[in-house]
Amino acid sequence: MRTCREYRRCSPEFRRNLDAAAGGIGWIGARSRSNWYILTRQEIFFMQKPWRLVFAFVLALTPSWAHHSFSAEFDGSRTIVVKGVLAKIDWTNPHIAIYLDKEGPGGKIERYTFSSGPPGMLHRAGIRKSDFNIGDTVTITAAPAKDGNARFGWMKMIKYSDGHVFVYRNGAE
């Protein structure tokens, strides 16, 4: 961005060069206290249609999300059943994550992670984050991960210690 103290004081040659640099659309400038700001071609491009600037800004701030199918990551033909203590819930988009601690061989605690549907879908089905009580003993039936990770899966069903059951089906299994 170039400045000119007063537009009237700019030489005619400077104004012609500026018009040529602006693609022949004429001089466009903005007044700020004591300086005229001469806009570049890119700035003029965004000023002509302000939505372009908004779109570019949103696009720059939005991370890239690659969505995947259920069958690309999980094996729906097999199931695993894990009984353990509910350790943590991540109630965030695009999928909630349920963390379960299970005592493994030698008394060592193993952490299992299960994905499920998006919070909005669970909310519409009547499930709330408050329905998951950290520290409760639960049994989770899940589809295991295809990559061989034995501690990761897609939750199909959760059975609470008091006997009530929540079955999650999204139609992809």
CB 102, CB 83: distance < 8 Å = yes
53: in domain: yes
For residues 120 and 94, give the distance between their C-alpha atoms in angstroms, rounded to a whole number.
Answer: 9
Range of the domain at 35: 2-61
Statement to judge: residues 75 and 152 lie in one domain: yes
The pLDDT score that the predictor gives to residue 125 is 82
Share above pLDDT 90 across residues of the chain, in percent, rounded to a whole number:
31
Q: Is the pLDDT of residue 33 over 60?
A: no
The pLDDT score that the predictor gives to residue 54 is 73
Query: 157 or 67, which is more confident?
Result: 157
Statement to judge: residues 124 and 153 lie in one domain: yes
Q: Can you give the pTM of this predicted structure?
A: 0.59
Judge if the upstream peptide bond of residue 94 is cis by omega within 30 degrees of 0: yes
Q: Is the pLDDT of residue 86 over 50?
A: yes
Statement to judge: residues 84 and 126 lie in one domain: yes
Q: How many domains does the chain have?
A: 2
Statement to judge: residues 97 and 29 lie in one domain: no
Average pLDDT, the chain: 77
- Write the pLDDT tens digit of every residue in 50-85: 666 677 766 666 655 555 677 778 888 899 999 999
Statement to judge: residues 48 and 100 lie in one domain: no
Q: Range with the lowest mean pLDDT among 45-49, 67-71, 100-104, 115-119?
A: 45-49
Distance in angstroms between the alpha carbons of the first and the last residue of the chain: 57
For residues 113 and 109, give the distance between their C-alpha atoms in angstroms, rounded to a whole number.
Answer: 13
The pLDDT score that the predictor gives to residue 5 is 47
Q: How confident is the model at residue 91 (pLDDT cuts 50, 70, 90)?
A: very high
Residue 124 makes CB contacts below 8 A (sequence gap 6+) with none
158: in domain: yes
Statement to judge: residues 74 and 56 lie in one domain: no
Q: What are the structure tokens assigned to 110, written together?
A: 């193993």
Question: In sequence order, what E strands does the chain have?
Answer: 2-4, 29-32, 35-38, 80-90, 97-103, 109-115, 137-144, 152-160, 165-167
